[in-house]
Structure 1
Amino acid sequence: MTTLVPEAIERGRTLAVPALRAAVDRLHPRLRRVVAYHRGWTDAEGTPLPGGGGKLVRPALALLSAEAAGAAVEVGLPGAVAVELVHDFSLLHDDLMDGDTERRHRPTAWTVFGADGAILAGDALLGLATQVLLEVEGEPGRRAAIMLGAGVQDLVRGQAEDLYFETRNDVTVADTLTMEDGKTGALLSCSAAIGAVLAGGRTELVDGLAEFGSRLGTAFQLVDDLLGIWGDPAVTGKPVLSDLRSRKKSVPVVVALDAGGADADELRTFLASSGDASESELHHIARLVERAGGREWTTAEADRQLDECAKLIASLSLPPLVETELLALARFVTERDR
């Protein structure tokens, strides 16, 4: 599937990447090397590479939210940098916690630079994100830093719940959606509102954009759950059936468990097992999850969240171009294949 890249993503790349590079240049040289490799700016030896840097959905949202409040796009730039720094912090730590060895078609940072290097680089990015916002003069910078701090707390809460779910046998679909709202929705919520905060936007606008981002985050994670089981590894850059291999209780899996019957019992037995599963076993489990309705339900819920995003945007009386770009960005997130 080929999805057109929204104008907001391209513009975000043009504006945010130079500012991101400037921010990362402030780090300790050894940590800067870890981050540059993680972002795809360099190889493991530090040699510059073309391209790289991920989808940059969060910076694009931050810049659009400044425009939603009637400000110049540049007003949202500190927020765009801050949310992407936090995103990279979360990925560096998440890869290590999950034991993932591949991201974006190459070894993860912790496998190249060691666990200590990845942890410290993530810590440095988190501190740098707050610093970038607090360097903005006046009350908007302080309010943006508070918003980001709250978002990080929700993100970590979601990550903690995801970790604890591995040892729980009573996880419900509602539990999983709440976890994903924190793990992914919190930072997208912050991204969608932080530019408006920096622009001094009215409370109703900030709250509405935050809710839009939260629902978009849920849709984003639901699509991620689908790709984690049925995605093409040549496109996603992750090992085939990666979420099943790690026995992750993602939404499709929990929906299948809730369906009951022999398929749910077999799935539950697989999740309780340990050791490496064969490719054939993983493909069998994927078919089982799909047969039990996990794929269909998750796809429908992602579509429902996208519909709610559209309703929220329509209610905010935004400038027409901003509304169009936000909706295009939402479609891009939910129609992606990586």
Structure 2
Amino acid sequence: MDMLNRRQWLQAGAAALAPVAVPGVWAAGPLLPQLTLSGPPAIVSAPLIHMAQSNALAGVAAKTVFTPWRDPDQLRVMAIGKKADILAMPSNVAANLYNRGAGVQLLNISTWGALWIVTRDGQRKTLADFKGEEIAVPYRGDMPDIMLQLLTAKQGINAQRDMQLRYVPSPMEAMQLLITRRVRHALLVEPGVSMALHKTHSFPVSVVAPELHRGADLQQEWGRLFQRPPRIPQAGIAAVGAVRQHPEVLAAVQQAYATSVVWCRANPLECGKLVAQYVDLLTPEAVADALPHSQLEAVPVAAARADIDFFYQQLFAQNPSLLGGKLPDAGLFGGV
């Protein structure tokens, strides 16, 4: 490449990345016809829903839509089949998919802990308090179960042997078992925790609702056991497929997501109303209550890397298959 062509190439590259007049929107040439955002019935999806509803990505995409995924199996199908461009997912799933060649780039960690054991016994506050007890646990082999196994093992408890784990397909089903008195304890993810607490206060007067309490806070257990802040790099958003080749789109997505996080935290009930439009089982009030308990903060992977690496090391030591058999290289983080 001669010097003139090289200068023209650099100028063209700089122009392509220069911000336009609208804050947070990047010039990228022709708009993408559509960006599909997807996430679970959890707080990590709230900013994605707000982004779609507010058309926050109008500078890079002609249309933005949100579609929910129900469980980790559907998430994996969507990621491998490239059925969405930006997917909210547990951090271990991002590593697993990447190591299996699915073409995933983790953009941020935004959920820093939203796991509790909700219980009918208000005296049980640590995981050790639940030895010998039956606990409804959603998503066997995925994030809630993984954290339960990791944190119990760290304190010499074998969850499979020392607890009675009743696996169910989803947090909502665990919640239903709890509020209908079929179990005394359930491992729930926000906003399922807040939803369970709300539901028991909305029963008819003629029905004696179980009194429920936030029991073991898995974030506090993590901090206590590993001598770290009580923040678990639990979930974030990731780019999948061809959109990874559009850095200007990824920059716009990250900035819009961070802006929507701020909006959701400042407008919890309005955020709840948006989420409830996409997740029938959730109420606006439950989502609003869940927001301050979910440690929702959009931290780019470069800034979160030390926390992610430590977390991955613990998961790898527990079971390498959780990460797809090896620790992921820098490619998962866009080379940072």
What range is the shorter-chain TM-score in?
under 0.3
Structure-1-length-normalised TM-score: 0.27
Question: Which is strand-richer, 1 or 2?
Answer: 2
Question: Which is helix-richer, 1 or 2?
Answer: 1
Larger Cα-atom Rg? 2
Structure-2-length-normalised TM-score: 0.27
- Select the structure with the greater relative contact order (CA < 8 A; seq sep ≥ 6): 2
